[in-house]
Structure 1
Amino acid sequence: MREEISVNKAINRGHLIVNIPVFVSMFGIPALALYLAQNNSIPKWGVVISFIIGFIVAWLVWSFMITKWRIWAFDNVRNVHELKKRAIAEKLIWNDGKIFEKTEIKSPKQKRKLKLLEKKFEEEDVFKEDFSAPKSKTIYYSKSTNLIQMFIMIACSILGIYLILDSGSYIMGSLFIIGGIYYAYKAFKKATITAPQIIINDKGIETIQVNFKNWSEIKNEEVLIKNNGNHASAYLNFDFKEGFESLQIDDFDITPKDMENLLRTYRIRNKKNYS
């Protein structure tokens, strides 16, 4: 019997065989060109061209390797819905229909294989209870994360002062000072909030924005990663009769992965204990 591969293992392998070669291609080629230019082996303008070549080669590497990874991963992982969601969140693949997704290079044989693998999406994912999860979990703002962010922003403000005093860069310095103070205050404010942001157990969920909802009232619960340019944010989403919840959890004392695990575990426990 063939051993099933976990989602985490599949994602890690994806980074290894797809993203690392892409990274090496994109930055290795310009680095080599820069070295050759410094030794007068190629003209200086060759460095500029190398960035274009590096990007093209990196994209070709991704286009070929991502197809190989797709076939291996979706063939060997049981929970293909979770796998696809994680792969999109971690920028291994693109959402269906996106222009970049259409640049994946597939041979006729690979297309046939992927078509066959689509049947796996007709089945729901299967999850197991995490017996190490507590009876109830209370989630707060992470003091350490927000305090670190605060000190970084204070450092930005100090840098702004330095820019003004040392080089007379009033505009740039002022931007650093104002931005640093603003975001340092926001981080400090979050670090000092002691109220629970989420309470979750086998009976239901309560958040800072939504009163307690029993699991029987909740549908489509998930942790969704939203990409905004180069920044990705995690949200706890779920629907209920009166509306829906979408709560950003980046600054909380729980990771998106652990939050997802709690959602599944408490849903399973609710079915076991109250069905």
Structure 2
Amino acid sequence: MREQMTVDKAIKRGHLVVNVPVFVLLFGTPCLGMYLLSQKQIPNWGIAISFLFGFLLAWLYWSYGITKWRIWAFENVRNVHELKKKAIQQGLIWKDNSWFNKTEIKTDSDKRKWTELEKKFEKKDVFKEDRSVSPQSVIHYSKIKNTYEFIIMFLCLIGGIYLLVKSDSYIFGTLLTLTGGYFGFKELKQVLDNNPQITIDSKGIETVNTEFKSWTEIKNEEVIMEGSGKHTEFYFIYDYKNGFEKLKIDDYDISPKKLENLIRTYRIRNNKNYR
């Protein structure tokens, strides 16, 4: 086992070799059915068959392909805990107790390999300090992102008012006005908010909601993803004595990946100081 593959590269390969073919089979088969129907090669009921056939083909491929990817990925990645978490979050694999796991196609050889690979979970993930990270990081709302979203909501508000005044689209106009007004006000507040949302260094973490906590008080700190597709949201979470922090970070001036890097780096630096 070379274990030279990064988690992100393994996940990208998983999407490429598993999810992309699944998508092609799931939607490509009905498209082929519609084309054949247009050419009068199949009867009308053939469309329903093509949808069913596409679903079965996609599921069959996933059941086989995910097993092969899982074995390859966990053989070549060192941090298997992080890999498993991200693979579940990004819809590559299911949680351990999911019924869908029972539909995976595994040969006896695959089962033996996976049994050996499960031993890797007995070891903790290993992370390196990023020396380019400054002694302290202060995270704010993103001015650019929130300004852009405010403009979109403001245009919705104007459009809604226009519909109410100039047309008979009262229902749609009212919905558009209320949506634009509510979310536009929310985005404007974030644009004007200059307060630090997260302050983090080698001593600990302070957020807009929670007073300063030292690393000795903090545990289970991580960035998690909830939802899927257009409804995906990222959160920064951690536990501390008698409490729990959960901050939605999508509107902050930092990406989830960079925040993960900060958390790990400052935790490593703290551990070095107290050895």
Residue 155 to residue 68, structure 1, CA distance change in 2 (3 Å): farther
Q: Distance in 2 between matches of 1:183 and 1:162?
A: 18
RMSD: 2.4
Q: CA deviation at 1:156?
A: 4.2
Superposed counterparts of 1:130-209, under 5 Å? 130-157=130-157, 160=160, 168-209=168-209
1:126 and 2:126 are equivalent in the alignment = yes
* Equivalent AA in structure 1 for residue 24 of structure 2: V
The structural deviation recorded for 1:186 is 1.6
**Residues in 2 aligned to 1:46 and 1:170: alpha-carbon distance in whole angstroms:** 43
| Aligned equivalent of 2:251 | 251
Q: Any idea what the Cα deviations from partners look like across 1:91-127, whole Å, max 9, x if unmatched?
A: 1111111222332222222122212211100000011
Which segments of 5 or more consecutive residues in structure 1 lack a partner in the other structure? none
TM-aligned CA deviation for residue 229 of structure 1: 8.3
Correspondence for 2:6: 6
Name the counterpart of 1:272.
272
Q: Any gaps of 5 or more consecutive residues in structure 2?
A: none
Which is further off, 254-263 or 92-101? 92-101
% identity of equivalent residues: 56
1:37 deviates by 2.6
* More divergent stretch after superposition (223-232 vs 61-70): 223-232
Q: 2:71 matched to 1:78?
A: no
1:68 aligns with 2:96: no
Tell me the distance in 2 between the aligned counterparts of 1:243 and 1:44. 60
Equivalent residue pairs, number: 275
Q: Per the alignment, do residues 99 and 167 of structure 1 end up closer, same or farther by CA in structure 2, a change over 3 Å counting?
A: farther
Distance of 2:52 and 2:188 partners within structure 1: 43
- Corresponding residue for residue 217 of structure 1: 217
Q: 1:223 to 1:3 in 2, by over 3 A?
A: closer
With over 3 angstroms needed to count, the CA separation of the structure-2 counterparts of 1:76 and 1:3, relative to structure 1, is closer
User: Does 1:51 find its partner at 2:70?
Assistant: no
- The worse-fitting range, judged by mean Cα deviation, of 35-44 and 261-270 is 35-44
Q: More deviation in 253-262 or 32-41? A: 32-41
CA displacement, residues 164-187 of structure 1 (integer Å, 9 cap, x when unaligned): 789855434432332233222222
Quote the offset at 1:8 in angstroms: 1.3
Distance between the aligned counterparts of 2:174 and 2:260, measured in 1?
41
Secondary structure at the counterpart of residue 221 of structure 1: strand
C-alpha distance in structure 2 between counterparts of 1:189 and 1:214, whole Å: 30
Q: 179-188 or 201-210: which moved more?
A: 179-188
Do the aligned partners of residues 38 and 173 (structure 1) sit closer, same or farther apart at CA in structure 2, a change above 3 Å counting?
Answer: farther
Q: Give 3-state SS (helix, strand or coil) of 1:64's partner.
A: helix
Amino acid at match of 1:190: Q
SS of residue paired to 2:5: coil
Structure 1 Cα separation of the partners of residues 166 and 46 of structure 2 = 36
Name the residue aligned to 1:237.
Answer: 237
Which amino acid is the alignment partner of residue 251 of structure 2? Answer: D
Structure 1 CA distance for aligned equivalents of residues 107 and 161 of structure 2: 58
